[in-house]
Structure 1
Amino acid sequence: MSFETLTVSSGRPEPATGGDPVGAVLEESTVNAISPADPRTDSKWRQLASGPAGGLFTSPPWIQAVCDSYGFTPEARISEAPDGTPVGGFAWVTVSDIRGERISALPFCDRADPMLTGPDAWPGLADEALATGTPLTLRCFSDNPATADPRLRSVGEAAWHGTPLDCTEDELYTRISSTSRRNLKAADRNNVTVAASTELDAVHAFHRLHVRLRKNKYRLLAQPVEFFERIWQQFTGTGSDTTAVITLLAEVDGEVAAGAMYLVWGDTLYYKFGASLSEFLPMRPNDALYWAALKLALSRGLRAVDWGISDLDQPGLVSYKRKWASEERRVVTLRGGPDPTPKTEVGTMLGELTRLFTEPSVPDEISTQAGALLYRHFC
């Protein structure tokens, strides 16, 4: 592999009064129009996804990669102001498999906030999905207008972190915690080097590390390598400066010790996947990776680094992300319709298969193939 080494609208109107037909017509004309859209190809969806209400997980290339990998067909609704301007967007996937039928908005996402330019853009967007009576789950920031919908209830919460890049590199270095700065010096003493690549072979190298970590540390299967390849295909080669896949690998004496896969969408660098080997952790390769990502984002003129979400029962991870001059917000999991009826025997079977395929005696390539077969059922 060849890497570049870093030097580190409105709601429903009230009826017109006084029997005035003209007033009724005028008032009705201010209602936002709701129309179906394919979020992978619709130009107005892309317009919303590229704006301040959008993000990586509602972007057309991400949705395309997920749906191509797992055989999903996405649906979406767009809210348009009377002049045709898109002011809101909501997308979902209906999943029907051995675990039953459910609606995910959207699957395999940290969060997929309904894209709303204001509170009045939400009414009507989720009506059809909620009318099915199928359990619907979505994750979004706690201040998204959708959270005020009485048809949705909160069933979970996570922490989100992001680092704004409204400063120089020197200023950013002083903003990160003193612990992070000490760890960066330790990584330098231990000759940790970080290489960045936009090539597919780097994605493959990271995936091997990813499989190894999930299998050996967490006894979990990894998402299939085909998913990573499709992400790379969708975000690479578009000729746009606003999309990219950048893989960072930290090496010690020529051996990969840690890695991370980042995606560029718009003006933000998104941390999506990370993995490291426990035997190298005292050398602080992860700190070197985090700092390299911040420097990379600064060099590209990006606005922020999005570190994604962390479960609140992982205080160590939450604390670690706080050290990188990061802002913290809450992401809530919302449920609409009935609670899913778990098929206990199916859950038990998937758990047992996962345990078997992550046994230490099982070759990594077999665990990789098992993930390709089973992972779609985990959404």
Structure 2
Amino acid sequence: MTVVVGIDDRRWCEFVEGHTDATLFHHPAWCRVLERAYGYRPFAVALERPDGRLTAGLPLMEVRGLRGRRWLSLPFTDACRPLSNGQDPALAEALDAERQRAGVRLVEIRGPITSPPGHPAARGLNHTLTLRSDPDDLLRTFSRSQVQRNISRAVREGVRVRRSQERADLLEVFYRLHLQTRRRHGVPIQPRTFFEQLWERLLAQDLGFVLVAEVDGRPAAAAVFLAWNGTLTYKFGASDPASWTRRPNHLLFWEAIRWGCEHRYATLDFGRTDFGNEGLRAFKQGWGTIETELVYATLGARAPALGDRRLTAALGAVIRRTPSWVCRLAGEALYRYAA
């Protein structure tokens, strides 16, 4: 039997918390962050046993825009695989039936559903690192030229990394570096409300933390990691180009790996890499990661186009050539429509 439940429904929470494949992106708290920051409506479609227990399911959010109503699992999320327990065909059919019943044109799933009526498509690469109980054993498996040498250089150059769960380290230190990074890349920054919700609903609840790398007492790089259910997930990173020669980012990741090993996490997820971004791909491969294709699936219409590249290029040029407040304003006004 198919049921549509709220993401705070007791049965859904118990199902997610008891599922070994669930990541923080299946957790109700992540949906609440997106809901409060962007106004999307969260819910879950699940399969239910006669005794009321859920056996498979997927969190979704309804997005309304120029392309009509769509269900996404989930917006601004690299991966959110269906928790199907081997019931892919039944879950796919249930999702499609609910889509049609609600009059929704498209369901986009940030994970694979290979059985009909799903339409799978590779949308990038994912890199994961299997953690060990002894981080020093893991260190010896990293690329000597790309990783081990750069970690040692960062230490010699006096880079210091601190782990923080302080609000100011997210909303001030990280945010400033992130704004510089987004402006340099010519893309809008997420609304400040998003980071406020990220702090309130995740980091303040011990579901993640900020790492800050400092050089001579000044922030050189910072990263946000989400942590739950055995998976440590790299979500955001930012750095000051003036400090790149001291390799602060390598030391940031090494400290995250050490923390994950010491706290018995099983996996570090390095997140999505777009096709063609060979520099980022090489960086992640240097840590001895396992590379897999990131496959998304759609129900209903085929996967939407990735957007007008000319418009994206024009917006990027404006952001790079104008003050930081333009990057902030563009994010406040437009970011929610990029889902």
TM-score normalized by the length of structure 1? 0.81
1:220, 1:355 within 8 Å by CA — same for their partners in 2?
no
Q: Residues 36 and 281 from structure 1, CA distance in 2 versus in 1: closer, same or farther, beyond 3 angstroms?
A: same
The root-mean-square deviation of aligned C-alpha atoms, in Å, is 2.4
The reply to whether residue 202 of structure 1 matches residue 165 of structure 2 is: no
Unaligned runs of 5+ in 2: none
Q: Is the 8 A contact 2:207 2:226 kept in 1?
A: yes
- Residue 91 of structure 1 and its aligned partner are, at CA, apart by 2.5
Q: Secondary structure at the match of 1:201?
A: helix
Q: Distance in 1 between matches of 2:118 and 2:310?
A: 29
1:66 is matched with 34
Deviations along 1:117-170, one digit per CA (max 9) or x if unpaired, are: 223662543123442351222221x5xxx22x2222123332111222233122
Given candidates 126, 143, 147, the residue that maps to 1:160 is 126
Secondary structure (helix, strand or coil) at the match of 1:95 reads: strand
Q: Residues 1-379 of structure 1 correspond to what in structure 2 (within 5 A)?
A: 33-39=1-7, 41-50=8-17, 51-119=19-87, 122-131=91-100, 132=103, 134-140=105-111, 142=112, 146-147=113-114, 149-179=115-145, 180-204=147-171, 205-216=173-184, 218-238=185-205, 243-339=206-302, 352=314, 355-356=317-318, 358-362=319-323, 364-379=324-339
The DSSP-based 3-state class of the residue aligned with 2:288 is: coil
- The answer to whether the 8 Å contact 1:247/1:262 transfers is yes
Q: Alpha carbons of 1:75 and 1:163: their partners in 2 closer, same or farther (altered >3 Å)?
A: same
Secondary structure at 1:126's aligned position in 2? helix
Aligned with 2:211: secondary structure? Answer: strand
What do the CA deviations read for 1:20-44 (whole angstroms, capped 9, x no partner)?
A: xxxxxxxxxxxxx2111111x1122
CA distance in 2, matches of 1:266, 1:340: 30
Q: How many Å separate the matches in 2 of 1:150 and 1:196?
A: 45
User: Counterparts of 1:192 and 1:76 in 2: how far apart (Å)?
Assistant: 44
Query: Could you tell me which amino acid in structure 1 is paired with residue 255 of structure 2?
Result: A
Change (3 A) 1:313 1:342: closer
Are the equivalent residues in 1 in contact too, given 2:45–2:58 (CA < 8 A)? Answer: yes
1:228 deviation in Å? 1.3
C-alpha distance in 1, partners of 2:87/2:257? 33
CA positional deviation for 1:222: 1.0
> Which blocks of at least 5 consecutive residues in structure 1 are unaligned?
1-32
Structure 2 counterpart SS, 1:122: helix
| d(CA) in 1 for partners of 2:24, 2:116 | 27
Q: How far apart, CA to CA, are the structure 2 residues paired with 1:260 and 1:248?
A: 5
CA distance in 1, matches of 2:150, 2:179: 26
Residue identity opposite 1:139 in structure 2 = R
In 2: Cα distance, 1:317 partner to 1:326 partner: 13
Q: Deviations over 1:209-258 (max 9, x none)?
A: 11111112x111111121011011112444xxxx4221011111122221
Provide the C-alpha distance between the structure 2 equivalents of 1:157 and 1:69, rounded to a whole number of angstroms.
25
Alpha-carbon distance in 1 for matches of 2:245, 2:20: 39
1:183 CA displacement: 0.8
Offset at residue 188 of structure 1 (A): 1.2
What amino acid does structure 1 have at the position aligned with 2:138?
L
Report how far residue 334 of structure 1 moved: 1.5
1:314, distance to aligned residue in structure 2 (A) = 1.2
Letter in 2 for 1:170: D
Q: TM-score, normalised by structure 2?
A: 0.90
| Matched positions, count | 333
Distance 1:72 1:351, change over 3 A: farther
* Kept after mapping to 2: 8 A contact 1:219/1:355: yes
Match of 1:28 in 2: none
Cα distance in 2 for partners of 1:352, 1:123 equals 39
> Distance in 1 between the 2:71 and 2:316 partners?
24
| SS of residue paired to 1:261 | strand
CA distance in structure 2 between the partners assigned to 1:161 and 1:348 by the alignment? 30
